[in-house]
Chains A and B, each alone.
Chain A
Amino acid sequence: MKNKEPLILVVVVAFTLLTYWLVEPYAHSVMHKHVESENFAYADLPALTKSGDAANGKVLVTGAAACIGCHSITKDGIPAGMDAVTAAGSYGVNPPDLSNAGVIYDAKFLADLIKNPAHALNVAHKFDAAKGQMHPMIAFAGAGGDVDQEVADMVAYLQSIAVKAGELTPKMAFEEACGRCHSMKYENWTQIGTKPEYKFEKESLAYDIKVLEYQEALTKYMGKLPPDLSMYFRSRNEHFLSTFIENPQSQLAGTAMPRVGVTAEAAHKVIEHMADAGDTKRHERESVGKNVMIFIIIFAIFALLWKKQVWRDLH
């Protein structure tokens, strides 16, 4: 009699694959809108036309009543005016330290941010000057000279003090770009920093209370507490994370999350850190997976040979 098994196998596999395609790739393409990445080009922001002078930029950034009124630059020995909790109480969120801003954020973005924060951050919808709602960061209107030149100088200064791109670790990129709003419990990260190991519970609780106070101010400012990102690498896919970081409004119109303005490279590092937290064992999974596949293929070959041997007498 004709062997029907190949035909049966084709039918079973075809119906299985069809069902899989319908409920996975197809259904998800219908449920989630596809957002194309713009490779962190920030095409809506004007290009820098002037080449900056770092020395002049330093004067502008570190001058009295300038950036350092709110921002610390620890690299240049400029400490924060107040601690994170107090700062959050004043501004809603702790203003970032600017030491590595030049390498984490895109130059065009920084320039636009200095001149018009709500515009660069894509949060203009949250602030209405007529109602007295101002972005907590004050726009830089110029120090008397050509504003564009001054802004270019400031950006050049920030770039000059930042670590080299190669020295920026995934952890640094995440903590500096995302970590003042998002906690990452599985990496022990809170919005006010990595929680130290305390010997006494009292100290640990005191730290937690500081975090709660910070979160309270942040919640008031953002409308809701930004989510903990420990498992976001598994709960969102990589493409979603990348396009969301690039422009949160593209995936979630009206969201309170600002456009962070990171460079493509920094975004890549942020996502790598999220993978380290949420998919810690991915490298082990790949190497163990390969070995298991080799083992099981050898098992299948032996099983096939055993069957052939046993069935030789049956035909």
Chain B
Amino acid sequence: MSLLNLSVSELGRGLRAREFSSVELAEEALERVDSLDGKLGAFLRTTPELALEQARAADRRLAAEADPPALCGIPIGHKDVLCTKGVETTSGSRILEGFRPPYDATVVARLAQDGAVVVGKMNCDEFAMGSSNENSAFQPTVNPWDAERVPGGSSGGSAAAVAARLAVATLGTDTGGSVRLPASFCGVVGVKPSYGRVSRYGVIAFASSLDQVGPLAKTVEDAQLVLSSIAGPDRRDSTTSAAPVGDLARALQEGVRGLRLGIPREYLAAGLEDGVRGVFESACRWLEAEGAELVEVSLPSTQYALAAYYVIAPAEVSSNLARMDGIRFGPGEPQAPSLLEAYELARNRGFGPEVRRRVALGTFVLSSGYYDAYYLRAQKVRTLVAQDFSRVFEKVDALISPTAPTPAFRLGERTQDPLAMYATDALTLPANLAGISGLSVPAGFTSGLPVGVQVLGPYLGEAMCLRVGAAVERAADVWRQVPAGFDG
């Protein structure tokens, strides 16, 4: 059995007991990627030299330090929207091919400081725009549980790699569900921290007011360990919260007895597949059995959230992606007869269709004469969505729902219908609009496909999410299940 089936704390015990070294662990991860990722497509590139160098340093630290960090020597992967110094970082886009950032994202630097070992960069939808990973300019990633299905997106590579045991944990980014959705589809844990809990410095922006970096891992505890490493104020990101992170580990043991958990009526509306409903209802029964009180609540603005999201996010995209102008990034168009044509050619060739669609949409909604009708109105809806959550969190400690209305869908099933693709995120994106905390935890299977439960907590309520998530995880007891073909 592969070492990569073990949790971070199990691996930590093995590393400290010298049962295996960090270098051996990294080598095993890299070998698994070499032999198994061909059918998965989770990695855009591996970083063997960096990994072995970091693993050797981790081994020295494990030998020298009395109490090395929990992540010391643990193989991880970074979604390719995270800047890694000297390592190509493309955001899954042609236009950034060959871009080697001269600096590390804050989250990358913090994990490196804690001794984590980077084995590679994870595939994703181009600039994190997508719900299926089919928008990567380089390759699709498939779902490890069913190669004909999508892994979810946009952090599909990050989720698939953890599920297939090619990395112990990975980082993803969640702008409208991009960590939680693939976590649900691939049967792993994914955390979307509150807006401002984790630094965005060095995260290639999709929608700046919505993006958050979050961990994907096999267990809630593993996810907590990664979150504890990356969370907290960063003077390079003015939107980070100054509030201390506190001890998140304690939450895992606290149980749900006495908690009031809300079930948003609107999240169980039409479109929810029976199999998903079944898994969710079992999770509800487990939580009640553990002593939680379940109450139905209403988030009435939910029906407008998707539309507001698809105004605000593209508006920010149209501005954030303006720097990809072909002059400093991408192949460039030096033969273009004019500056305008050079921009047009570079961006038409460099961006895929979904990115172009969102740039066009965002440019439109910010245009003079349309700003009030679209962008301003969407911001008002955003405020209403946030108020919905504030109101219910006065009455309940956390919210639970399915993470997505369906399990992983088939490759190609929604690529021709952007609206159907956008609807995939209907249950996850309100949390991004409101800036609150959330996670997805595996709760069972339907027809052999994983189903995740979403836990939403208040702003900076990561501990509450982890507490409820850990309870679901204990009751579901599915995290040791490995997809066929990756269980070697």
Are chains A and B native binding partners rather than an unrelated pairing?
no
